[in-house]
Structure 1
Amino acid sequence: MTKQKQKPSRSLAGIAGIIAAATLISKVFGLVRQQTISAAFGLGPAADAFNYAYTIPGFLLILLGGINGPFYSAVVSVLAKRDEEEAAPLVETITTLVGFILLVIAIFIFIFAPNLIDIFAAGLRTTGKELVREIAIQQLRVMSPMAVLAGLIGIGFGVLNSANQYWLPAISPLFSSSAVILSLGILYLQVGTNIGTATSEYATIGGMVLAGGYVAGAFLQWLVQIFAQVKSGMGRFRLRFDFQQPGVREILRIMLPATFSSGMLQFNLYTDLFFASRIPQTGVAAALANAGLLVQTPVGILSNMILVPLLPMFAQLAAPDNWDELKLRIRQGLILSGFTMLPLGALMISLAVPIVRIVYERGAFNPENSMLVASLLVANGIGMFIYLGRDVLVRVFYALGDGNTPFRISTFNIFLNALLDFLFLEVFNLGAPGLVYATVGVNCSSMLMLLLLLNRKLNGLPLGEWGLIILGLVGGSIATGLASGSTLRLTQQFLGTEGLILQLLQLSISSAVGLVVFAIVVSQMKLPEVNVFVAKLRQKFLKR
């Protein structure tokens, strides 16, 4: 019989605050990292190749090394029930076992890198992008050790959180971003502006340094965790082969199915990159990453503000006797998602070009690159509310103890995404934005299916009432986009379009005008959820 570890208690709000602050800092550094990569390579062969090569290492980092990933969840759930004397040997044993398995996977990736690139980016050969393919193969081989590091980082997340340490795990991606920025800075000092050229020699050198920077960053992220883990008494980095411990079997019993389930969700990314490689234009994969980051940075921050407080509420109201209140909380989550994401999406659509120019256009990233990324940002802006709204509904199913329904819907949508990618690119010839429109369509399908099934599961939801409110927010967002776009064109007509300070001024004025229009529309709707949300924000800012 194991006993519960005694740890300093922290409130849920305090933990959420620590994670939110660390996430914000990490995302800001992630954006700076992407700006550095874009300035160095633009949308050239090295950057384009990297986004194909990073598919597998990036997937493993998200799946195995991410906070809330299956490795993290399994370790936390098991260590929470054990004392430190039992925890340390268990951590060392599971690290040894997972490390050896992932080492085999890393060797496999290194040996079969050409085959893997040809699977995920088959179009690189048929469209004549041989240089992109060759660089991607070399980059994937350089990054193959990240297969091992991903698992170790995920275990480290769980171990440190079990030891009541939340700040370091959440902030540790900052070390990875810093390593990439530093490696590109050293390269720039060595070769100067040639780093951004499309010639074979410099593109290959730059691509290798970029891949090496990510490996160094992942290693540094893991190393920092190990020092903290040892200091907490939660095990050292050493081999231990005590695989018969009950805790080992318990961790694997949770870890393996969760890994498989989470991995299914990444197939949409593979499908998108497969079709992106078929587009003759170089830089599509890099442009997708740049546009996606511009959307995911604010979505990640705002989703924390909305989802973190709601998740425990959903779980507390899962019993049938509490379903009436649960429905109110679901409404709250959806309306707040619409209130934050719809106007933000409208601004992304109407102000896409100046946003991209301000964030990325410097160094090797030229105006032509800006236009491609801006077209993808417009497509992403359309689906921002759907993305977050779907996440709200998925969390409700998890709170009700039903993880199978979201999984089945995700599996169906893998095939739907492939179909939409084919239709939008091969039939309707929409080009690179068609890949994003396909993703928006898949998310929309997911949200509608989740909503209809939840309606049946909870014995009816006021879908008509909720739909009218969302339509009102959509109308306000359209007015936001029209107002901000008109203001931008007016200021550009009188002031011009060149100069970073001028662009920032125009973007600020246009955004402010659009948000004022949205605030006027929403104030007429008198939504209690919005009033409470705004009041809490105002209270927090006044305290600070």
Structure 2
Amino acid sequence: MTESKKPTRSIASIAGIVAAATLISKVFGLVRSIALAAAFGNGIVTEAFAYAYAIPGFLLILLGGINGPFHSAIVSVLTKEKDKSQVAPIVETITTIVGIILLCVSIAIFCFAGNAIDIVAPNLSLSSDVARGALVRQCAIEQLQIMSAMAVLAGFIGIGFGTLSSADFYWLPSISPLLTSSTTIIGVGILAIYLGPKIMLPENALLAGKVLAGTTLIGALLQWLMQVITQWRVGLGTIKPRLEWRRQGVKDVLKILGPATFSSGTLQINLFIDLAFASGIAGAASAMQYSGLLIQTPLGIISNIILVSLLPEFSRLADPQNWTQLKDRIRQGLLLTGIAMMPLSAVMMALAFPIVQTVYQYGAFKTQDSQLVGSILIASSLGMFIFLGRDVLVRVFYALGDGSTPFKISVVNIFFNFLFDYLFWKPFGAAGITLSTVCINLISFSVMLFLLDRRLNGLPWRGFVPLLGIFLASTVAGGVTWGISYGWQQFIPVSNTLTLLVQLALSGGMGFAVFAAIVSQLKLPEFDRFVAQIRQKLFKK
């Protein structure tokens, strides 16, 4: 029985599946990060990995990530394909074309790994500790060469995600990333047992780096194998080479895929710029990764819930005769984003340092590492709503068959990213680099809203007014959270993880409660439905 015969799931059902699977994957990702922090701290191995992972890791997120351009392009086209017998040839052709291109990319990455690291981290040689900088560079080059094959795997994974999602498979794409985390945890655990306390010594940095890179590559391979086997079993395409590029479905995918990939790819240039500035600050690159995971864990879960369920809806309402409904979906998507992200952002800013201490400060991870990561976390939390809101609008453009507009905006933002990095780097340090990203996301969000307003003959601006109330409620919630946390620290000294957990639970819980109490007075249907679903699940017999 093929997936096409299955009844179409509701948005709520899709959201529940994606939420559960993504939560499991994100938890494994967090455990992986904790294992790295405990084993290597914010030292040579993790800093080198931050530079080495910049290219293959970003390709995995860009091309292979759920809601990435490959996923979005495949879903946008295959959900409109009425003849399901055409799906397999389309998928196999796209896989063949992408595989050829990315194989060349992988070879280039392997051969020019040294040049790539010098571009990503140009200030390593200018570090005050020349020997440390040289070791970080050598370790990063070896790691990048090992992970170069992930370029091919990233494209295949992205195609698989889109194919399975278009056929109403949501569990597998959302849960498969845990394989990468699991292999890394196992590899680092074995290495820690083998080396013991010597794992932190500089002379073992190269070995540790190879283990970290190798297990990451194995995890990506397993992730692709899991989904391609499922595709094969349900008739959604195999690994059979095929070059039927004249098919209309193939043309439609490539029409969206090219601009969408280049648009998202400009983020890689921004990442290069960020890492170039970070390479002048010892430990900044790895600290940004530690902070980034704390942001991406809740952001990834919530973004998948919102974007995965809305993207097919945007595609089905792309015809001008359905634009009234499309505009309502846009409003709904942004309000849901605000309800989810604004209070979370405020609470995380208020509790940044206790959160970092609770999650990471074990083993080789010290207090000074927590302070650096905490400052970056505050800056990252500031832009959570803007980041996800921008992604909602990008998906609207994709659904309308327009991948060029987000691309043009992203290209312009490269200039602004360099400008803001330059302006914020010296006064704010590593946190300033993250603050620069928040600024360019705000520019993108504002421009996309303006262009969609013109293209769709006017957006329902009055429908966005509740976002102001949500923002004010989140601000109050953040203030309450910080006040309770500060008072706790004055009267109850933090001595262990349990004390920190109680502090976080009490202050964060009160902050969210205050937010819910205020927003409930706004009488938002989206918020009321959200609360009703929670109550139903909690009190269901």
Q: Which amino acid aligns with 2:193?
A: L
Residues 246, 15 of structure 1: CA spacing in aligned structure 2 closer, same or farther, 3 A cutoff?
farther
**SS of aligned partner of 1:225:** helix
Aligned to 1:221: 223
Residue 19 of structure 1, CA deviation: 2.8
Residues 536, 309 of structure 1: CA spacing in aligned structure 2 closer, same or farther, 3 A cutoff?
farther
Residue 432 of structure 1, CA deviation: 0.3
Residue 466 of structure 1, CA deviation: 3.7
Identity %: 53
Residue 439 of structure 1, CA deviation: 0.8
CA distance in 2, matches of 1:211, 1:33: 13
Residues 506, 295 of structure 1: CA spacing in aligned structure 2 closer, same or farther, 3 A cutoff?
same
Q: Does 1:372 align with 2:369?
A: no
C-alpha contact 1:121 1:274 (8 A) present in aligned 2: yes
Q: Does 1:453 align with 2:451?
A: yes
Residue 351 of structure 1, CA deviation: 0.8
Aligned to 2:101: 101
C-alpha contact 2:73 2:398 (8 A) present in aligned 1: no
C-alpha contact 1:7 1:163 (8 A) present in aligned 2: no
Aligned to 2:528: 531
CA distance in 2, matches of 1:458, 1:96: 36
Instruction: Indicate the larger mover: 97-106 or 204-213.
Output: 97-106
C-alpha contact 2:59 2:154 (8 A) present in aligned 1: yes
CA distance in 2, matches of 1:249, 1:401: 14
Residue 8 of structure 1, CA deviation: 2.9
CA distance in 2, matches of 1:321, 1:421: 44
**SS of aligned partner of 1:470:** helix
Residues 385, 169 of structure 1: CA spacing in aligned structure 2 closer, same or farther, 3 A cutoff?
closer
CA deviation string 1:381-403 (max 9, x = no partner) = 21112222223333344444444
Return the TM-score normalized by structure 1. Answer: 0.88
Residue 463 of structure 1, CA deviation: 4.4
Aligned to 1:259: 261
Indicate which of 137, 147, 151 corresponds to 2:151.
147
Residues 508, 135 of structure 1: CA spacing in aligned structure 2 closer, same or farther, 3 A cutoff?
same
Residues 115, 490 of structure 1: CA spacing in aligned structure 2 closer, same or farther, 3 A cutoff?
same
- Counterparts of 1:32-51 in structure 2, within 5 Å, are 32-51=31-50
CA deviation string 1:472-501 (max 9, x = no partner) = 333322222222112112222222111111
Aligned to 1:500: 497
Instruction: Indicate the larger mover: 322-331 or 178-187.
Output: 322-331
- Counterparts of 1:36-185 in structure 2, within 5 Å, are 36-72=35-71, 77=77, 95-127=95-127, 128=130, 129-161=133-165, 165-185=169-189
CA distance in 1, matches of 2:308, 2:228: 28
CA distance in 2, matches of 1:404, 1:60: 20
- Counterparts of 1:93-492 in structure 2, within 5 Å, are 95-127=95-127, 128=130, 129-161=133-165, 165-195=169-199, 197=200, 199-233=201-235, 237=239, 240=241, 243=243, 246-247=246-247, 250=251, 255-279=257-281, 282-315=282-315, 318=318, 326-426=326-426, 429-461=427-459, 463=461, 466-467=464-465, 469-492=466-489
Residue 41 of structure 1, CA deviation: 1.2
Q: Which amino acid aligns with 1:483?
A: V
Gaps of 5+ in 1: none
Residue 344 of structure 1, CA deviation: 1.1
Aligned to 1:543: 540
**SS of aligned partner of 1:243:** coil
C-alpha contact 1:295 1:377 (8 A) present in aligned 2: yes
Residues 541, 398 of structure 1: CA spacing in aligned structure 2 closer, same or farther, 3 A cutoff?
farther
Indicate which of 496, 504, 509 corresponds to 2:506.
509
Residue 237 of structure 1, CA deviation: 4.7
CA deviation string 1:281-308 (max 9, x = no partner) = x211111111111112112222334444
Q: Which amino acid aligns with 2:477?
A: T
**SS of aligned partner of 1:66:** coil
Q: Which amino acid aligns with 1:38?
A: A
Aligned to 2:517: 520
Q: Which amino acid aligns with 1:203?
A: A
Q: Which amino acid aligns with 2:440?
A: V
**SS of aligned partner of 2:342:** helix
Residues 349, 431 of structure 1: CA spacing in aligned structure 2 closer, same or farther, 3 A cutoff?
same
C-alpha contact 1:5 1:81 (8 A) present in aligned 2: no
Return the TM-score normalized by structure 2. Answer: 0.88
CA distance in 2, matches of 1:118, 1:95: 32
Residue 262 of structure 1, CA deviation: 3.1
C-alpha contact 1:152 1:222 (8 A) present in aligned 2: yes
CA distance in 1, matches of 2:492, 2:341: 30
CA distance in 1, matches of 2:346, 2:166: 41
Q: Which amino acid aligns with 1:67?
A: I
CA distance in 1, matches of 2:125, 2:338: 42
Q: Which amino acid aligns with 1:471?
A: L
**SS of aligned partner of 1:265:** helix
Residues 521, 321 of structure 1: CA spacing in aligned structure 2 closer, same or farther, 3 A cutoff?
same
**SS of aligned partner of 1:65:** coil
C-alpha contact 2:274 2:421 (8 A) present in aligned 1: yes
Residues 404, 364 of structure 1: CA spacing in aligned structure 2 closer, same or farther, 3 A cutoff?
same
Residues 294, 131 of structure 1: CA spacing in aligned structure 2 closer, same or farther, 3 A cutoff?
same
Instruction: Indicate the larger mover: 253-262 or 219-228.
Output: 253-262
Instruction: Indicate the larger mover: 360-369 or 517-526.
Output: 517-526
Q: Which amino acid aligns with 2:173?
A: P
Residues 47, 244 of structure 1: CA spacing in aligned structure 2 closer, same or farther, 3 A cutoff?
same
Q: Which amino acid aligns with 1:456?
A: R
CA distance in 2, matches of 1:536, 1:444: 31
CA deviation string 1:130-183 (max 9, x = no partner) = 221111111101111212222332343345456654432332111111111110
Q: Which amino acid aligns with 1:522?
A: V
CA deviation string 1:355-394 (max 9, x = no partner) = 1111111111111111111101111121112222223333
**SS of aligned partner of 1:266:** helix
C-alpha contact 1:7 1:164 (8 A) present in aligned 2: no
CA deviation string 1:19-77 (max 9, x = no partner) = 33222211111111111111111110110110110111012212332234444456564
Residue 413 of structure 1, CA deviation: 1.2
Gaps of 5+ in 2: none
**SS of aligned partner of 2:428:** coil
Residues 542, 318 of structure 1: CA spacing in aligned structure 2 closer, same or farther, 3 A cutoff?
farther
Residue 105 of structure 1, CA deviation: 2.1
